Amino acid sequence: MQGCAEVPVSVSWKDCDEKESVIIHKIIAIVLIVLGLTGLALGRLGETVWAPETSRTASVALSDPGAAVVLDPGLLYVGGHEGEATITGASDVSVITAGPEDITAYLGDAKYTRVTGVPDWSTLSTEVVNPEGPATLDSPTASDLWRSVDTQPSPATIDIAAFSQEETRTNPQPYRPILLVTDGASPGAEQVSITWPVDAKNAWVPYAYAAGATLAILGLLLLVVSLGSSRRRESVPASSPALAAPFDASAAPAGASVAPADASVAPVSAPEAPVAASGPGSDPAVPAAAPGSHRAERIAPDPEQPLAPVAESSELPTAEQPTERLARVDEGLDGDAPMDENPAAALENDADRIVEDPSTSAQEDNR
């Protein structure tokens, strides 16, 4: 980025500061937008890739379970009253409900497996009952001890919410066991799994969305304002380098004349004073009065009014020209002619005589 020390002389310090401010604002706006988009992306990843599992499943594989598998009462509700249980068998699976005593009486001394609990959220615990008993059952679905029988092709499913409603409302029998069988000769089930939904979310996801959206909006607003300022500055070009670089008159040395910054502009000269007319009675050392000055108004006669005649009298002293007076003074200095003891007093006396006779002064001026 070009610093203020490297800009041309025609660019003022204020313009340089404004340009740097606009550039800094644009950089900040871009950083805010990037951070905002990053926050939004993190929030989305927290809901998808980094989101915790929305369900948990506990399962067990049964290698030699016997002719039947029994789910203990309340096992389906360990993870909540919603979810699904899936039973996989060698053939169609029958889901039978009945009282605990009825199921125990029907199975007798046959070999079967109980699913007793959930030691962790991925495993079901089991227990084999009568491991030495017979592994077959006669007509397991035809008994009159059962309250409900539901036969489904493998894999069979149990809706936990519907099963809970049936236990408590439709056919009240809370916490009843479930008997799983196939045809009586094959194992009752090969695999049992129970899945419960989990309402788990990353707690920081809402904050990531809020922070990302806020930063992105602020960045966009700042970027729009910066672009608008830059366009306004570009739409008003400087008329000349001299206007773009204001001159500091206080920095000029005392007594120095200040020339305009633009050399093409000619300075305005003051009107020249009129040159005094030269003649035998004029003094070249005395400049003529400029038109409009107080001296010109005082001594210039009115052209329409004739001058009053001057009476010749020996009593009136005649005005002596300054050159004649100086000649006499020079003669006195040379010693050839007498000199007044006080030349300054003599000059004052001459001035007094001229003031006392204004007509004589006017005539001398006209000559």
pLDDT tens, 182-194?
Answer: 988 889 899 999 9
365/300 Cα distance (integer angstroms): 9
Higher pLDDT, 335 or 90: 90
Higher pLDDT, 162 or 352: 162
Residues 191 and 211 in one domain: no
Mean pLDDT of 291-310: 50
Q: Which two tokens stand for residue 287?
A: 């400049």
Instruction: Assess if residue 262 is contained within a domain.
Output: no
Residues 81 and 37 in one domain: no
Residues 285 and 350 in one domain: yes
Q: What is the pLDDT of residue 324?
A: 56
155 burial level (CB within 10 Å; 0-12, 13-18, 19+): middle
Mean pLDDT of 318-346: 51
Q: What is the pLDDT of residue 62?
A: 92
Which residue range forms the structural domain that includes residue 343? 279-295+314-367
Residues 146 and 69 in one domain: yes
pTM of the model: 0.51
Instruction: Assess if residue 260 is contained within a domain.
Output: no
Instruction: Assess if residue 248 is contained within a domain.
Output: no
Instruction: Assess if residue 59 is contained within a domain.
Output: yes
Residues 114 and 159 in one domain: yes
Residues 192 and 223 in one domain: no
Residues 72 and 160 in one domain: yes
Last residue of a domain, one of 197, 227, 251: 197
Q: Is the pLDDT of residue 103 over 50?
A: yes
Residues 225 and 344 in one domain: no
Most confident of 31-45, 165-179, 220-234: 31-45
Residues 192 and 220 in one domain: no
Last residue of a domain, one of 197, 230, 265: 197
Residues 36 and 75 in one domain: no
Q: Domain count for the chain, please give it.
A: 3
Instruction: Assess if residue 186 is contained within a domain.
Output: yes
Instruction: Assess if residue 301 is contained within a domain.
Output: no
Residues 42 and 110 in one domain: no
DSSP bridge pairs for 193: 59, 86
Most confident of 219-223, 301-305, 349-353: 219-223
Q: What is the pLDDT of residue 328?
A: 55
Q: What is the pLDDT of residue 169?
A: 74
Residues 216 and 172 in one domain: no
216/38 Cα distance (integer angstroms): 9
